[in-house]
Amino acid sequence: MNLLLLFLIVFTLLALRQNMVLILLVSAAYVQVVYGNGTVLYVVEDLWTAMDNHALLAIPMYLVVGNLIARGSIAGHLVEVFKSATDWMPGGLGVATILACACFSAISGSSAATLIAIGSVMYPALKDAGYSSRFAIGSVTSAGTLGILIPPSIPLILYGLVTDTSVADLFLAGVLPGILLALIFAVYSVVTNREMARGTFSSRRLITSFHNGFFAILAPVLLLGGIYSGVFSPIQAAAVAVVYTAAVEVLIYRSFGLAGLFEIMKSSVVMLGTLMPIVAVALMLKSFLASEGLPDAFADWVQNIFESKVAILLALNLALLITGCLIDVVSAILLLAPVMLAVGTAVGVNPVHLGIIMVVNLEIGLLTPPVGLNLLIASRSFGERVSSIAMSVLPFVLLMLVVLMVVTFVPWLSLVLIE
């Protein structure tokens, strides 16, 4: 009954659109009073223990990387390389949009940064080339979600922190599902725009764009190659990404000077100030819930309702899809990952596989009202109504649901690279 009341409090506060820090603090206070002895000292100790994790260092660094690239020239160079490589194809500019988003995601780890950086270049380019407004805004908004699935990914880092799962394994597990989703989006672009006028392939243009964008293309190769070859860890890769992208933008592309770099660092700190309190309280709450065995109790309750593994997985997906419509990705992972992990473990789902299932669900949530963060960002960036953008992304959402089912019931796709 106490656990049920806790969930009721959380969802009531969510329905009232309260700040996530407030929701987590209320939840932590409730847990300490009901299950603990209410001593403030324990709250402080739990907060300290929760934040004493070196993996948290990656989050501020990837935030900086996302801001650096979003305001710099790397995105434009990536776009030009892919445009020159796909212009001869039917729907080639749409394919270039998808591939540029996928490549950008492998640097920034952020959906919002991917949408803003690539969308600002490709949305007007698609419309000028004669693509329908619906496809143009739908493709850039949907492809922007690749930023939370293709590694490095901030949500995957958070999932690893909350569930004590290897971040390196999560990064490897996200590669094939991310590639599959990007390829399906690209095929959809080709099929949908097969009647569009196409350009001709020019090796000179491709060589020139590759030469100009060499350091942009090198970024994901350097980061992912370094991680998977064992040269540096995913956490160290974040530091490499900051130094590399700052050096490329300031010294090579000269997108901004030291003053601009300082402003980007300052805005990143402001963003971090809103995120880290949420992470701290959520990790503290997770530790206490685990010590009291509450996630396991919830898992037993779920198993008593749903008898088969398939039914439980479908129920988890439905719950996550609904959650993604109501709250943002970070909050959903911090609130639900420990509980979902207990349920998944009870029916034999690998924690890494479960992390990918959860992120794909929440990736869809970025495109579904009423919260739909990518819908809101696209609306502000491109001056379109949220309702019209939601209709534009609908075909992509349906494709993502297909990929979700594949990811859920074909665990090999997520686990083959780590086995």
Q: Which long-range contacts does 37-45 make (Cβ < 8 Å, 24+ apart)?
A: 43/284
Tokens linked to 176: 């094939």
If one counts every other C-beta atom within 10 angstroms of the C-beta of residue 90, the result is: 17
Tokens linked to 250: 């300031």
Q: Is residue 3 part of a domain?
A: no
Tokens linked to 9: 């409090």
Q: Is residue 60 part of a domain?
A: yes
Distance CA(209)–CA(216), nearest Å, equals: 11
Tokens linked to 354: 């479960």
Distance CA(362)–CA(356), nearest Å, equals: 10
Domain limits for position 385:
13-418
Q: Is residue 29 part of a domain?
A: yes
pLDDT for 350: 94
> How many domains, in total, are found in the chain?
1
- Give residue-wise pLDDT tens across range 265-276: 888 777 777 667
Distance CA(408)–CA(419), nearest Å, equals: 18
Average pLDDT value for residue range 78-98: 88
pLDDT for 44: 64
Burial 91-103 (b: 16+ CB within 10 A, else e): bbbbbbbbbbbbb
Cite the DSSP H helix spans in 87-231.
92-108, 111-128, 133-143, 154-163, 167-192, 203-212, 214-228
pLDDT for 52: 66
Q: Is residue 276 part of a domain?
A: yes
pLDDT for 203: 85
pLDDT at 41 over 60: no
Average pLDDT value for residue range 132-137: 90
pLDDT at 143 over 60: yes
Q: Is residue 228 part of a domain?
A: yes
Indicate the residue type of 216: A
Distance CA(260)–CA(331), nearest Å, equals: 31
Alpha-carbon dihedral sign for residues 152, 259, 100, 397: positive
Burial 297-314 (b: 16+ CB within 10 A, else e): ebbeebeeebeeeeebbe
Alpha-carbon dihedral sign for residues 98, 152, 111, 402: positive
pTM: 0.84
